[in-house]
Amino acid sequence: MKLDFHMPTKVIAEKECVRNNADVFKMGKKALIVTGKCSAKNNGSLDDVIWALDKNNIEYAVFDKVMSNPTVECVYEGAEMAMEEEADFVIAIGGGSPMDAAKAIALLAVSDIDRKDLFSGNIGNKALPMIHIPTTAGTGSEVTPYSILTNHEKQTKTSIAAPCLFPAYALLDAKYMKKLSLKTTVNTAIDSLSHSVEGMMSARANIMADIIAREAIRLLASEFDNLASGEFTDEDREKLLYASMLGGVVISQTKTTAVHAMGYSLTYFKGIDHGRANGLLLGEFMEYTEKFAPEKIHDILDCMGMKTVDEFKAELHKILGETENFVLAELEMYADIANMAGGVKNSIHCPDRSEILEIYKNSLL
């Protein structure tokens, strides 16, 4: 057996974990808090972080300009603020967008990387230390070394990756998710599910990642009825947050597959939420993969208590509802873009351009 497993992020998950672990914030003299405009202020997470910083007499500045699917321009602006404020560590509060942006900001604040070289893979391995506090249960970005940014040049989303982008700490408290809308809860949960399922369908899958993925899939499947009905207890929210973190651990080792690569076009061109985009494609990609690795797909289905991919597709439809409208010309363009993406090549069996198009058609037409 060959195994290479690296997970340097310390995870603390408990109620009131930010205030109960205020010493964690003693990482420097001044923090840059990276977040969006509203949610961190509305759910109490920003107040808790400021309380912890004040308790430790640590100064801070707030960069709250992160939008959904953050752009290159956004992270360079954040990095400029980090340098102007002389911040020596970064705190990310929010869903995947603020956490992904925070990683790029932490990198760019101490690295001289030209914009044209950001996606070159040549970004070094130096970044400001980070604490991540997720306020949605989906991306798992708090435990990955990836930052996913909108790449207008290639009309898609592209990742930057380096070991230095692993946060030092991830603080998980499901209380920040009590006010999440059903739409956001569903889309992030399906994103989380996609991470663990794709991890098991990845060419980089390994025994430890599969063990973690199975647990995450089992937990998420136990929430399918609640995702369809929109009724959640505090325990359900904790379960979704825990499963999301596990999914992040999985893809930190395996990366994602063609599902993410194909889903990015649905987000870029149609504005479909990232998690929903993955969910619209996941069932068909599992059916495609079943032809080449049936034992892997049966293993995934068994974690859900299901026998067939059709059962899973029916469950996804119940949760996600009707598919948006597409025309063939759009899907042909998406297939061209996805065919060039690295995620496709990370699949346990790599579809070619015609197969990618067929998966799109079966999923969306």
Looking at 176, 207, 230, which one is the last position of a domain?
Answer: 176
Statement to judge: residues 140 and 257 lie in one domain: no
Q: For position 50, what pLDDT does the model report?
A: 98
- Containing 59, the helix (H) or strand (E) segment is strand 59-63
- CA-to-CA distance for 322 and 307, rounded, in angstroms? 24
DSSP 71: B
Statement to judge: residues 342 and 286 lie in one domain: yes
Instruction: Answer for the pair 163, 203: CB distance below 8 angstroms, yes or no.
Output: no
Statement to judge: residues 172 and 46 lie in one domain: yes
Q: Does residue 30 form part of some domain? A: yes
What's the domain range around 111? 10-176
Statement to judge: residues 130 and 248 lie in one domain: no
CATH number of 185's domain? 1.20.1090.10
Which residues 6+ apart lie within 8 Å of 292 measured at CB? 348, 349
Specify the number of domains making up the chain. 2
Per residue of the chain (365 residues), what is the pLDDT tens digit?
778 899 999 999 999 999 999 999 999 999 999 999 878 889 999 999 999 999 999 999 999 999 999 999 999 999 999 999 999 999 999 999 999 999 999 999 999 999 989 999 889 999 999 999 999 999 999 999 999 999 998 999 999 999 999 999 999 999 999 999 999 999 999 999 999 999 999 999 999 999 999 999 999 999 999 999 999 999 999 999 999 999 999 999 999 999 999 999 999 999 999 999 999 999 999 999 999 999 999 999 999 999 999 999 999 999 999 999 999 999 999 999 999 998 999 999 999 999 999 999 999 99
Q: Does residue 5 form part of some domain? A: no
Q: What angle do CA 326, 278, 195 make, to 5 degrees?
A: 170
Q: Does residue 1 form part of some domain? A: no
Query: Parallel, antiparallel, or unpaired: how do β-strands 130-134 and 169-172 relate?
Result: parallel
* pLDDT one-digit tens code per residue, 20-39: 999 999 999 999 999 998 78
pTM: 0.97
- CA-to-CA distance for 63 and 365, rounded, in angstroms? 41
Statement to judge: residues 172 and 188 lie in one domain: no
Statement to judge: residues 292 and 157 lie in one domain: no
